[in-house]
Structure 1
């Protein structure tokens, strides 16, 4: 069992960390509060090749895997700049198109995803069905050679920044409906978006989407109708792994800020970190974060090795562990700062909404427990 990064992976980690530090959490917060996007950071990360580390080399990417992309997600978050669109565009859309797209789709989309000039959003969640693809209300039906999409989607990240959105719909296959994925231009006739007001400090907004007979050409379908379910799952495990990596990086950032503060803040003539009541909660959180990072590495390794069933279990566990560890780390960091923890200047309370949301999305901790109960422990299905 090898716990060492390859030289290339180690260099990638160091380089991305250096880029993140040049921007920092103050940049991230300023952009979010101004209602702006982290355009400069995204563009530089794309130019340096970090956004496309998992894209095949023939399409301008680095030829790596989700292991490398998880490194990018974690290190930017550890610098205080968690970029949600890394999960959405390179991890989900990039993986789905690379594995299941047609040759024309790969040639058209992957180079732009790799260099950051093309962002692709992802739309599965619906107001009534959540992310249960068995109950999705968005449907696609044939009209001659075209497709017509109708339905609603919610909590869709970054639609205003993306040129396309990868939409999960249900199509007729004999006497049943099965999922299929479509590449929909965000300026398509019949597609409208409404911004959701969120109590999360983030440069990336959340949107409601309405699809009213959106007409698409035949080549908007990713792969084929039969490829829908495998294509969907090929994107969901990378989503969980990279979300977990981003959570772990955020936790590292919060603990670093807290540790610096507690080691230097003097009360009664000694640093407050000398008190076990302060130091032990930080140490406990640090242990939980390191345990989560091990599971993230395992999940990414299994996924990159093509061991999909095992990767599915590990990806869910990694997401569960990292979300809980991140929420614990940020809460602990705020607590040890005292009143300073609730100020913007100390840079930890600004993370609170995002890490709390991480226990809900993209799959809730309760659904992960259902999955583990059923698929690992052999318990009867509970839902």
Structure 2
């Protein structure tokens, strides 16, 4: 189907390469593995060996030296073939981008080549039960112990933690005084480190990338585990969060394309009263509207990625793209299910189970309400509807974690 987005010749080659690999596996592979609780190791290895997972990472660390624009093509094209992989957003994108921008030469050398070729994986551990969208309110804390660090606390909804070799953990830097807000520090924490416990967190999302609660009980880390400087983690977090929002948009755009394509094919073939159902405006008009919405979301996603690659402040563009793409994909998928009638609710047609992933993108990685808050305050100049709380007293008594569940 003709769209609004125009790729360069190199981007077209990249998109075709991803499509070739994705077609080798297909939506059936994704859904069958997801239902069985299995992983997509073969697909991941193929993407890594083809240089697609690290397309945005520095050449000196095994990447292709391209940008977020190119990685968004990889993520979107996979989803457009019925393979919306959350791990592509987490491991090479969030974690890889943070390490490339802020990691020490030793950390970059140790992790980026593996993230780029798919032989190593990393999960991002930010979300907590009581902090939600407010990263300043995380209760997981890090304190210095000589040259080492001790990290304690808990995280929830950590995607693919069971597949990861390490977690990129966001923690409060309790040794650093700051009267304005809670300073953050970032650490690379091996998942097999003493004191790390992973607990499955069941959800309705049909995906190979499972969710976990992570407990960190007095985890001792060497000085090399710290990313950048202690207490300076907020810019580091956003080095990963804006790419995360752009790539979440790319997943949504891919799901939207997948849904519209499936519905169009069905509407051309399915006959009622001797004509294809696509001949009826009650079918064709909603599909045309869904196609327009998805294409506009793709343009917004491309604009946000290009702003990020150019070194501009891409926060507003990333938030708007994420909002538009999540809404467009949900609308497209709902309409595709409607076009299929009862068939749209059967596993055979691969639509109903995709709805949970599309719906997830409306809430994560940032809720639509927080997007609207951001645009209202930072783009439109309206008064803030929320305020960042000040840092608690220096004794840090409220930072002690609750008892850990075993």
Cα deviation code 1:75-105 (max 9, x no counterpart): 0111111111100011100000000000001
Cα deviation code 1:295-343 (max 9, x no counterpart): 00000000000002xx110000000000011111111100010000001
Name the SS of the counterpart of 1:321 in structure 2. helix
Q: 2:47 aligns with which of 13, 28, 45?
A: 45
- Matched residue, 1:103: 105
Q: If the length of structure 1 is used for normalisation, what is the TM-score?
A: 0.98
Q: 1:142 aligns with which of 108, 122, 144?
A: 144
Asked if the contact 2:155/2:214 (under 8 Å) is kept, the reply is: yes
State the Cα distance separating 1:131 from its structure 2 match: 3.3
Asked if the contact 2:5/2:295 (under 8 Å) is kept, the reply is: no
Which runs of 5 or more residues in structure 2 are unaligned? 387-406
Q: 1:73 aligns with which of 53, 75, 85?
A: 75
Q: Say yes or no: does 1:336 pair with 2:320.
A: no
Name the SS of the counterpart of 1:359 in structure 2. helix
Name the SS of the counterpart of 1:126 in structure 2. coil
State the Cα distance separating 1:133 from its structure 2 match: 1.2
Asked if the contact 1:100/1:227 (under 8 Å) is kept, the reply is: no
- Matched residue, 1:379: 382
Asked if the contact 1:51/1:113 (under 8 Å) is kept, the reply is: yes
Q: 2:354 aligns with which of 351, 354, 368?
A: 351
State the Cα distance separating 1:6 from its structure 2 match: 2.2
Q: How does 1:180-329 map to 2 (within 5 A)?
A: 180-308=185-313, 311-329=314-332
Distance in 2 between residues matched to 1:299 and 1:105, nearest whole Å: 28
Distance in 2 between residues matched to 1:111 and 1:140, nearest whole Å: 27
Name the SS of the counterpart of 2:369 in structure 1. helix
Q: How many residues align?
A: 380
Asked if the contact 2:5/2:298 (under 8 Å) is kept, the reply is: no
- Matched residue, 2:402: none
Q: 2:124 aligns with which of 115, 122, 125?
A: 122
- Matched residue, 1:168: 170
Q: 2:38 aligns with which of 36, 39, 43?
A: 36
- Matched residue, 1:82: 84
Name the Cα RMSD after superposition. Answer: 1.1
